[in-house]
Amino acid sequence: MQLFISKRVYLIGEKMKKICVSLVLLFFTSGLVFADDPAIGLWKLIDKKGSLKKDAPVNVYRFYEKDDKLLGKLLAAVCTPDDLALAKCKESYKYFPEKGKVNRMAYIGTPLIYNLENKSDGYWKGGRVINPSNGKWYYCKVTFHKADDKKYKEDTLQVRFEVGLGIGANIWMTRATEADIEKIHELTLEFKEKIPKDYPKATQ
């Protein structure tokens, strides 16, 4: 009887070991499968020319994935009120991910970069970007470049806008933090006289 109980305890112990191993493997493999793409996160543009304050952050974007597409929205920009409307944009755009009239939405928080499809780790293309200053849209692709202490001193996000046939321009962004957003708010207060008093306000 004692031998039977010992054997049963042994079998239960072995079974529990297998379950634990399976759970550990599931945990780690899930982490690999669902790990964020390196392009996802907060990115900032730096004032390298010193238009307001040299080497200070000008704006911060958040790039995120939704429905298998990459989107980018502005979280903060120097001298840009949170309720500034996209008044020069059209009411609607093809593939735009948000419902409502775009020209009534706020510049801050609206995904003006959208519909990018993942082609490889850190590389997204086939998307669009809307220029809020004139309402025109352009083709867009995003490429992550890991810091290598050579060409890229720090992690860099290349955001390319094109009118077609490879004609376009690049914007180079680096990793941002919540502290950069606070810095932008401080600069906005410092240069608040540059904000027009009668700016168009978002209504949705």
- C-beta separation of 114 from 134 below 8 A: no
**Residue 52 confidence (pLDDT):** 86
14 with 92, same domain: the answer is: no
Tell me how far apart the alpha carbons of residues 58 and 10 are, in angstroms, rounded to a whole number.
64
**Residue 60 confidence (pLDDT):** 98
Residue 20 lies in a domain: yes
Measuring CA to CA, which residue among 17, 76, 72, 79 is closest to residue 40?
72
| pLDDT above 50: residue 12 | no
Residue 201 lies in a domain: no
- C-beta separation of 95 from 114 below 8 A: yes
pLDDT in tens, 142-174: 999 999 999 999 999 999 999 988 899 999 999
Grouping H, G, I as helix, E, B as strand and the rest as coil, residue 106 is strand
Q: What is the residue range of 84's domain?
A: 41-194
Residue 55 lies in a domain: yes
55 with 110, same domain: the answer is: yes
174 with 119, same domain: the answer is: yes
Q: Which long-range contacts (CB under 8 A, 24 or more apart) does 60-64 make?
A: 60/176, 60/180, 60/181, 60/184, 61/113, 61/173, 61/176, 63/39, 63/113, 63/142, 63/157, 64/40
Residue 199 lies in a domain: no
Residue 204 lies in a domain: no
4 with 60, same domain: the answer is: no
- Range in 48-52, 75-79, 142-146 with the lowest mean pLDDT: 48-52
57 with 26, same domain: the answer is: no
**Residue 49 confidence (pLDDT):** 87
**Residue 51 confidence (pLDDT):** 85
159 with 179, same domain: the answer is: yes
Residues facing 129 on adjacent strands: 113, 138
- C-beta separation of 151 from 140 below 8 A: no
Mean pLDDT of 82-105: 97
31 with 72, same domain: the answer is: no
157 with 65, same domain: the answer is: yes
**Residue 15 confidence (pLDDT):** 54
Longest dimension (CA), the chain: 90
14 with 101, same domain: the answer is: no
144 with 102, same domain: the answer is: yes
- C-beta separation of 128 from 138 below 8 A: yes
Measuring CA to CA, which residue among 158, 115, 117, 110 is closest to residue 135?
110
